[in-house]
Structures are given as structure tokens and as C-alpha cells.
Amino acid sequence: MKLINKKICMGKDIGIHGNMFGGILMAWIDESAAAFATEYCCTPNMVTLRVGELFFKKPIKVGNHIRIYGDVSHLGNTSITLNIETRKYNLYSGEDTVVCTTSITFVRIDDDGNPTPIGETVRNRHQKQLEESLAN
């Protein structure tokens, strides 16, 4: 998976139980994944279509360094689906602990908000990357 964003959990991000509020983490994931999808598809015209089940595995506390990783699981005609892992990073040991996983799908839209095909250049590059990863 590719590192797509880094964040630090601040006091303003904490809910009533002393852990990071899930809605804040969900927003971080959506923003990070959207930036990755728009860059991958070479267009700013991508919108969130669907977020899969978010599985919160471990709590996040104030001061925790968070890293968000993503990779492409599917490239469709008008959409892209990403697998996302959010990890807590330990500055002392350099170890990552997975704290949340999900998948998220974006669709490319035109000026009227209708789905429009992802460019052929993107599709060709994606196919080439798939073939290279299978060869290795």
C-alpha cells in the first residue's frame, strides 16, 4: 500500500471517551482517498460514491501520529475503488499498528454531475501496473 497522508490526533479530535471521534477519522480517510483518486485518475472531477464498512480496530489518542495508506483495488469505466488502511505510527520504534480499514469508491463526473469515463491514458497505465505486479 502507498502512504497517502499523515495526520496528528489533536485534542479537538477527541470524543467523550478519550479516543479520537470516529467521524473525524472518517473525514480524514475520505479526504485522503479523494486526493489519491483524483491524482491517480488525473482529474479533479471525482466524488465519493460509497464508503465500505469502517472497522475501527484500535483507539487513537491525543498525540498519536496517524498514517493513511491506500491502493487501487478496482478501476472501472467511470469509477475507482481503493482499499484504505489507517495506521498508528510509533515514533520511537518506527512500527505501524492498523487502527482502521475500509474501502471507498469514487466516480468521475462531468460538469452536470453525471458519470463520465476515466481517461484511456489512466486505464492503460493501470493495466501496465497490474501486469508488472503480476510479473514480480
Query: Please, which pLDDT band fits residue 131 given cuts at 50, 70 and 90?
Result: confident
Domains and CATH numbers, the chain: 2-135 (3.10.129.10)
pLDDT (average), residues 18-22: 95
pLDDT (average), residues 10-16: 94
pTM for the model: 0.91
Q: Do 41 and 33 contact (CB within 8 A), yes or no? A: no
Query: Please, which pLDDT band fits residue 126 given cuts at 50, 70 and 90?
Result: confident
